[in-house]
Structure 1
């Protein structure tokens, strides 16, 4: 695949589709929490338990489980924004990166985490943030840089939360997700060609003026000789009839010569 060729500009329909997909994933997280409350079950055992064999299942299920609605809300908004931007700007690489962050981040958490149950999608959110930010540094096209600036402006604080700060916050999940997102950016940085930038308005105006000028020239230009219809044909000499010659009148000697003026 030619990764240097630009693709058409991304527009509002693509942004809407990306937002709907992100919203669908966030809805799954809320559905899991509602089912947990309605059934009276405690899904904490579906989290990651580091270095324990029964904790390996949490690599697949831990991001779906949240301790409280406050915990869920804190992850839902970043997930909605980051997934939308990732899917919108990197339609091919974002899903590979999302799956890689989910699995590799969970495995890293299982390897380095404290002996406790780790639940929540914060590792995925950190992975997506670092994925989008690092891609802006690597690719350096306008769309990638713009997205990197947006995510850093909104969620730049995630850079600090990869370090130990609060006792009940899994910084190990944040760190593992951030590393996975960074690796994903390096792996698939060229998978999505840069989108073509919209053409400046002045170029469109110049083209419209040139087209109007050509149309005016074609309207007032004189037709070529081959395009002029023939209105009269010369009759051949043999069909013109007989020419009658009139005798010349001779001047007599007694006539007064003409006067010259």
Structure 2
């Protein structure tokens, strides 16, 4: 005689606010590093990448967490928080994927395109990566409602940060790492394209889904 089997446990539901923990944790780490950099001797910025120095190549993963000053960190905080949370709202795994692609693309871009010995620090490569991802994903979003939502958000961000973000993509001599900005944005677009084509043309719901500087020959991201 058989006995009725209990129903399988329901799959855990991801709470939208819980997804924001990832960008908040990453931002908190940036602030913690800046606090430690202010009270401890020396500087963590020595862990960043140095253009054309292969021994520092792994520093591309540390550079987004490092900032040259409090003003530099504060300038990056607001756009990172807004754009990072918009990406994270589409899913925690997606946030970390876009973050990884933007980190590598921005870091390699600064490593190859900046003058030899240039030290690039700052989260602006990530900021531009998130911006590029949001713009590209809005264009390729399935369904008019999602396109209007993501497109409206992208336009709002462009209206608020557009001038400074566009000038950040242009070569300049004021210590701003346009290389990290431009390549970070390209990485964001690439991440959006890869996600879109890997999943195919099916309809996707939300659940599927630097500012920088140069110092002693350094660049801010």
> TM-score with structure 1 length normalisation?
0.64
Cα deviation, residue 96, structure 1: 1.2
Q: Is the 8 A contact 2:128 2:188 kept in 1?
A: yes
Matched, 1:138 2:145: no
Question: Match for residue 161 of structure 1?
Answer: 168
Q: 2:192 aligns with which of 162, 175, 185?
A: 185
Question: Match for residue 105 of structure 2?
Answer: 104
Q: Is the 8 A contact 2:124 2:180 kept in 1?
A: yes
Matched, 1:173 2:180: yes
Question: Match for residue 121 of structure 1?
Answer: 123
Cα deviation, residue 22, structure 1: 1.9
**Whole-angstrom CA distance in 2 between matches of 1:63 and 1:173:** 10
Cα deviation, residue 173, structure 1: 1.1
Q: Is the 8 A contact 1:18 1:87 kept in 2?
A: yes
Structure 1 counterpart SS, 2:96: helix
Q: When the two structures are aligned, how many residues end up with a matched partner?
A: 184
Cα deviation, residue 177, structure 1: 0.7
Distance 1:28 1:77, change over 3 A: same
Spell out, residue by residue over 1:101-158, the C-alpha distance to the aligned partner (whole angstroms, 9 max, x if none). Answer: 1122212221112221111111111111111112111226333223322322232231
Question: Match for residue 223 of structure 1?
Answer: none
Aligned pairs for 1:232-243 (under 5 A) are: none
**Whole-angstrom CA distance in 2 between matches of 1:155 and 1:89:** 22
Q: Is the 8 A contact 1:143 1:194 kept in 2?
A: no
Tell which structure's C-alpha radius of gyration is larger: 1
Q: Is the 8 A contact 2:133 2:192 kept in 1?
A: yes
Q: Which structure is richer in relative contact order (CA contacts within 8 A, separation 6 or more)?
A: 2
The unaligned stretches of length 5 or more in structure 1 are 1-10, 197-261
Distance 1:43 1:152, change over 3 A: same
Structure 2 counterpart SS, 1:194: coil
Distance 1:30 1:91, change over 3 A: closer
**Whole-angstrom CA distance in 2 between matches of 1:19 and 1:171:** 28
Structure 2 counterpart SS, 1:49: coil
RMSD (Å) for aligned C-alpha atoms:
2.2
Cα deviation, residue 97, structure 1: 1.2
Cα deviation, residue 172, structure 1: 1.0
Question: Match for residue 95 of structure 2?
Answer: 94
Structure 1 counterpart SS, 2:120: coil
**Bigger proportion of residues as strand:** 2
Aligned pairs for 1:212-227 (under 5 A) are: none
